[in-house]
Amino acid sequence: MFTSITCLFLGSVIIGSLMPIGKMSDMKMLSVIFKRNNFLRGDKSQPKFNGKNNEDHYVEYVYSIPLGLTVGEGLVNAIGAAFEKPVKVLSEGGRIFIRIYFEKLPEIIPYSNVPIRKSAKWLMPIGYGLDGWLWHDLDRDAVHMNVSGATRQGKTVFLKNLITYLCEHKTDYVKFHLIDMKGGLEFGRYENLRQVEGVASNIEEAEQMLERIRLDIDKKMKFFKRRGFNNIVNTPIRTRHVIIIDEAAELTPDKHTLPKLKESMQNCQDTMSHIARVAGALGYRLVFCTQYATADTLPRQVKQNSDAKIAFKLPTGTASRVAIDEDGAQYLPNAGRAIYKTHERETVQVPLLDDKEMMERLQPFMKEVSELDAPKDYSVPETDGSNIIEFGKA
Ligand SMILES: Nc1ncnc2c1ncn2[C@@H]1O[C@H](COP(=O)(O)OP(=O)(O)OP(=O)(O)O)[C@@H](O)[C@H]1O
Ligand SMILES: [Mg+2]
């Protein structure tokens, strides 16, 4: 399997200014960088050049290196800084592939550029990366997701992409529970979507909603046991429940929190942990969004069970390590630029979807007036088979 490290020319390494790079060939430059970074750890020889591949959006230099040697972020950043181009280094079995890309990532990618992919999979676009569009499969890649990033860096826009894309492409199968701890300012507008089971905008509502979900999970668990199902992805059930919590840190008590609220917050934390631990197999997907994921704001079970992490720019390397278990998010250059981390790591520009376009796209999914008058029933009935669709259909 390949491992890869990317440098998007973040300008944090000075090697470019230390040497006269003007007329040097790419290979000479690489050779100087290997030497200056002591890549072979005191060995005076150089990595052995194996060949060059010219692709339409990058040129790739292939070297063999002593088995067991790994490429560090420092070397990749040094190459990126010297070439002033985005660089990706992939390694596999004693060889490294140094890709020098011709174009930087754009600062804005409109949502309308997202390619249409007709697929039975639970795909959503994460963003546009150096090698094209990056997709996340909510069934296969990781069922739960943590999104972090400093203020105004693109977390809510990412959530808008997620909601809009799934409404457009999984219209009959996606069900949302939305918890908006900014007082409903953002998510209130989704309340009348057919796909939305409920919007909670304060701690009390969040507690009630999470409790209803917990009861539903218990029912589904029994149903799965009766039917001998172990994981929804191996059943014909097409529905997925996506629970999105924006500004989730607001559900964390601190020393000033009143006792009554503290108890409600603790209940919310317990239920979120429960969902993260057991509900993935039953079709629940948790998207947990916070400015700064600390051990306090991110329940341990949520962190451990979220195999996909998305970080927008964060204030420090420490914050980046908490969010994605490694450095890098502190260097992201602009709003909407994010690191997507599963077992691999990729930097992307998340599509920009403004409110006007989003509401136009969502209009077909809004409830009719007659549906709005109907009394609200948030409880999700026990699965009676009505949302079970035969394999191969639709
Ligand atoms: N993908 C994107 N591409 C380009 N610009 C973006 C993108 N995402 C966000 N922005 C810009 O950043 C602004 C803030 O985005 P957003 O509301 O998503 O931030 P946030 O991280 O949710 O902030 P807060 O923590 O304050 O809620 C947007 O209004 C837009 O101007
Ligand atoms: Mg926000």
Q: Render pLDDT for 61-87 as a digit per residue (tens, 0 to 9).
A: 999 988 878 888 888 889 999 999 999
Same domain, 90 and 135: no
* Cβ of residue 310 lying under 6 Å from some atom of ligand 1: no
Indicate whether 388 belongs to any domain: no
User: Cα(148)–Cα(16) distance, rounded to whole angstroms?
Assistant: 32
pLDDT of residue 394: 32
- CA–CA dist 132, 319 (Å, integer): 28
Beta bridge partners of 129: 132, 348
Q: How far apart are CA 188 and CA 214, in angstroms?
A: 23
Q: What amino acid is encoded at 73 in this protein?
A: E
Q: Do 132 and 158 reside in the same domain of the chain?
A: yes
Average pLDDT over all residues of the chain: 86
Taking the C-alpha atoms of residue 115 and residue 125, their distance in angstroms, rounded to an integer, is 9
Q: Which carries the bigger pLDDT value, residue 285 or residue 254?
A: 285
Q: Is residue 387 part of a domain?
A: no
Domain membership flag for residue 389: no
In a domain, 349, yes or no: yes
DSSP structure class, residue 30: H
Residues 150 and 92 in one domain: no
Instruction: Tell which residue, 15, 47, 51, 23, has the closest CA to residue 34.
Output: 47
Tell how strand 132-137 and strand 308-311 pair up.
Answer: unpaired
Instruction: Please report which confidence band the pLDDT of residue 294 belongs to, taking 50, 70 and 90 as the band edges.
Output: low
Q: Which stretch, 28-42, 206-220, 379-393, has highest mean pLDDT?
A: 206-220
185 in contact with ligand 1, CB cutoff 6 A: no
Ligand 1 and 283: CB distance under 6 A? no
Residue carrying structure tokens 């909670």: 200
Of 51, 68, 101, the residue that ends a domain is 101
Q: How far apart are CA 366 and CA 268, in angstroms?
A: 29
Of 185, 320, 281, 257, residue with least CA distance to 269: 257
Q: Given its phi and psi angles, is residue 35 left (phi above 0), alpha (psi -120 to 50 degrees) or beta?
A: alpha
Give, as one character, the DSSP assignment of residue 387. Answer: T
Q: Which of the four pLDDT bands, split at 50, 70 and 90, describes residue 373?
A: low
Q: What is the percent of the chain with per-residue pLDDT over 70, rounded to a whole number? A: 87
Q: From the CB of 164, is ligand 1 less than 6 Å away?
A: no
Would you call 213 exposed, middle or buried from its count of C-beta atoms within 10 A (0-12, 13-18, 19+)?
buried
Q: Among 24-33, 170-179, 208-217, which is the least confidently predicted range?
A: 24-33
* Nearest residue (CA) to ligand 1, atom 23: 152
Q: Are residues 120 and 90 in the same domain?
A: no
**Nearest bound ligand to CA 125?**
1
Integer angstrom CA distances of residue 313 from 133, 176, 348: 20, 27, 12
Positive or negative, the Cα torsion across 271, 273, 279, 285? positive
Closest CA to 93 of 1, 219, 186, 201: 1
Distance CA 8, CA 347 (A): 8
Average pLDDT over residues 381-392: 46
pLDDT average, residue stretch 215-234: 95
Q: Is it the case that residue 393 has pLDDT exceeding 50?
A: no
> Which of 30-44, 239-253, 297-311 has the least mean pLDDT?
297-311
- The pLDDT, as a whole number, for residue 14 is 36
Domain of 59 in residue numbering reads as 3-101
Task: Write down which residue in 101, 128, 153 finishes a domain.
Answer: 101
Tell whether ligand 1 has an atom less than 6 A from the beta carbon of residue 162.
no
Question: Are 49 and 184 in a shared domain?
Answer: no
| 81 and 126 co-located in one domain | no
pLDDT in tens, 118-174: 888 999 999 999 999 999 999 988 889 999 999 999 999 999 999 999 999 999 999
For the segment 49-56, the average pLDDT, to the nearest whole number, is: 94
Asked whether 153 lines ligand 1 (CB < 6 A), one says: yes
Residue nearest to atom 16 of ligand 1 (CA): 154
Is residue 77 located within the same domain as residue 118?
no
CA gap 32, 60 in Å, rounded: 17
How many folded domains does the chain comprise? 2
Q: What is the pLDDT of residue 77?
A: 87
Q: What is the pLDDT of residue 383?
A: 53
From 111, 153, 245, the mutation candidate for ligand 1 (largest count of ligand atoms within 8 A of CB) is 153
Q: Both 286 and 201 in a single domain?
A: yes
In a domain, residue 51? The reply is yes
Q: What is the pLDDT of residue 389?
A: 43
How many angstroms is it from 296 CA to the middle of ligand 1?
24
User: Does the Cβ of 18 fall within 6 Å of ligand 1?
Assistant: no
Q: Assess whether the C-beta atom of 155 lies below 6 angstroms from ligand 1.
A: yes
- State yes or no: pLDDT of 184 exceeds 50: yes
Instruction: Please check whether residue 379 lies inside any domain of the structure.
Output: no
Is the pLDDT score of 16 beyond 50? no
Domain contains 351: yes
DSSP state of 110: B
Average pLDDT over residues 190-217: 95
Q: Measuring from atom 8 of ligand 1, which residue has the nearest CA?
A: 154
Are 283 and 237 in contact by the 8 Å Cβ rule? The answer is: yes
Cα-to-centroid distance, 337 and ligand 1 (Å): 10
Examine the fold and report which residue of 61, 76, 101 is the final residue of a domain before the chain moves on. Answer: 101
Distance 189 CA to ligand 2 centre (A): 14
24: pLDDT strictly greater than 70: yes
Among the bound ligands, name the one nearest to the CA of residue 113: 1
Which ligand has the nearest atom to the CA of 349?
1
**Is residue 376 scored above 70 in pLDDT?**
no
Strand order in the sheet with 123-129: 132-137, 123-129, 345-349, 337-341, 308-311, 145-148, 284-290, 240-246, 174-180, 196-200
Among residues 364, 356, 331, the alpha carbon closest in space to that of 110 is found at 356
121 and 67 in a common domain? no
Distance between CA atoms of residues 13 and 81, nearest Å: 6
Q: Does the pLDDT value for residue 337 go beyond 60?
A: yes
Residue 289: CB within 6 Å of ligand 1? no
Ligand 1: nearest atom to the Cα of 312: 21
CATH number at residue 283: 3.40.50.300
Work out the average pLDDT over 294-300: 68
Task: Find the ligand nearest to 151 CA.
Answer: 1
Q: Where are the beta strands (DSSP E) in 234-363?
A: 240-246, 284-290, 308-311, 337-341, 345-349
CA of 157 to the centre of ligand 2 (A): 7
Q: Does pLDDT of 13 surpass 70?
A: no
| 121 and 49 fall within a common domain | no
Query: What is the pLDDT at residue 1?
Result: 53
Point out the ligand 1 atom lying closest to the alpha carbon of residue 149: 21
Helices (H), the chain: 15-18, 26-36, 73-83, 155-169, 203-227, 259-274, 300-305, 317-324, 355-362, 369-373
What is the number of the ligand closest to the CA of 160? Answer: 1
Share of the chain above pLDDT 90, in %: 61
**Rg of the chain over all Cα atoms, to the nearest angstrom:** 24
For the Cβ of 161 lying below 6 angstroms from any atom of ligand 1, the answer is no
Specify whether the CB–CB gap between 129 and 182 falls below 8 A. Answer: no
The confidence score (pLDDT) of residue 70 equals 81
One domain, residues 90 and 180: no
**Protein residues within 5 Å, CB atom, of ion ligand 2:** 155-156
Same-domain check for residues 125 and 259: yes
> Which has more pLDDT, 149 or 250?
149
Beta bridge partners of 51: 62
Residue 346 domain-assigned? Answer: yes
Query: Does residue 242 register a pLDDT over 70?
Result: yes
